[in-house]
Amino acid sequence: METSPSRWHPCWADKWLKVPDGGFCQVPWNGVVVAQVMILWFASFLLVGHVGLPSAVRWLGFNCQELSARGLALYSLSADVVEMFVGLFVLFQCLRPYFPLPERWFPASLRGGWIKEILLGCALFPIVSTLNNLNSNMMPIPSNTLPVSPWEQSLMSNDLVSILFYVAVVSLVAPIWEEMIFRGFLLPSITRYFRVDVAVLLSSLIFALAHFSMERLIPLTFLGMLMCVVYIRSRNILAPIILHSLWNAFAFVELIWKPGALFTWLLDFVL
């Protein structure tokens, strides 16, 4: 296995990003391993979400097209949990030959001043929303071509349990594996070949493209860059995970925050 140390490519943003002397971290693997992880992760993601879980549901005697709002929510939560474990297993197996990993890989700690980095990221959420509106106006999609999403079905059903399932998906499960893959692994790996600022841009663009939503490409790229900056400055994988969770919660509130809609939605649960 290749264990030669990665080269450090200094850049103008190193001081602001608080990049340690010598680089963000040592990368013992080459680009082939990076491509292997990303391709296998993506293949496992498609296999679980589009083949494995639908087949399991049919085997149990259910029809995915006929599931209730609560059933769809539970299905989405189950899919995300399975995808998380399978994706992290792929990552673990691909990096296993390089254990023990060098210092500063997947760092996690409850100590340090990383909370302020999260708060700074939260302050920029309105910019992400503005970019989202701008991107949507640049690439509008006819409303009659858009299917009703499970999110919208759960909101229209006013079923608290299904809504809580979706909150768990977007605020707990998805941020963990997305940040482990894109910020924890991909971002530092790219620094083997590029400066940190270029690595931030490239990994964020890949993160945005992985969502297969061109009408959200700009805001997702900016959001990915925001997560990268928070991760590099905090040197703590928990920081982008929590920030990602808060963003998804913010987007969820934006989704239901319409004139009178939130009041009506809460009133339905109370009465």
The answer to whether residue 167 sits within a structural domain is yes
Question: Rounded to whole angstroms, what are the CA distances from 116 to 119, 125, 187, 217, 239?
Answer: 5, 15, 22, 27, 10
Gap between the Cα atoms of 206 and 164, Å rounded? 29
Q: Which amino acid is at 119?
A: L
The answer to whether residue 18 sits within a structural domain is no
The answer to whether residue 46 sits within a structural domain is yes
Say if CB 23 and CB 8 are below 8 A apart: yes
Per residue in 189-212, pLDDT (tens digit) is 998 998 888 999 999 999 999 988
Quote the pLDDT of residue 254. Answer: 73
Structural domains of the chain, count: 1
Burial of 271 (0-12, 13-18, 19+ CB in 10 A): exposed
Of 148, 139, 156, 160, the residue nearest 219 (C-alpha): 139
- Stated as kind and residue range, the H or E segment containing 242 is helix 238-256
What the block records as the tokens of 23 is 């680089």
Quote the pLDDT of residue 250. Answer: 84
The answer to whether residue 4 sits within a structural domain is no
Could you list the residue range(s) of the whole structural domain that residue 132 is in?
23-105+115-142+150-270
| Higher-pLDDT residue of 169, 242 | 242
The answer to whether residue 10 sits within a structural domain is no
Per residue in 72-120, pLDDT (tens digit) is 777 878 888 888 899 999 999 999 999 999 888 999 988 878 899 999 9
What the block records as the tokens of 41 is 């992760």
Q: Give every CB contact of residue 148 below 8 A, 6+ residues apart in sequence.
A: 156
For the entire predicted model, the pTM comes to 0.83
The answer to whether residue 69 sits within a structural domain is yes
Per residue in 9-37, pLDDT (tens digit) is 666 676 777 777 777 788 999 999 999 99
Gap between the Cα atoms of 41 and 48, Å rounded? 11
The answer to whether residue 243 sits within a structural domain is yes
The answer to whether residue 15 sits within a structural domain is no
pLDDT surpasses 70 at 142:
no
Burial of 103 (0-12, 13-18, 19+ CB in 10 A): exposed
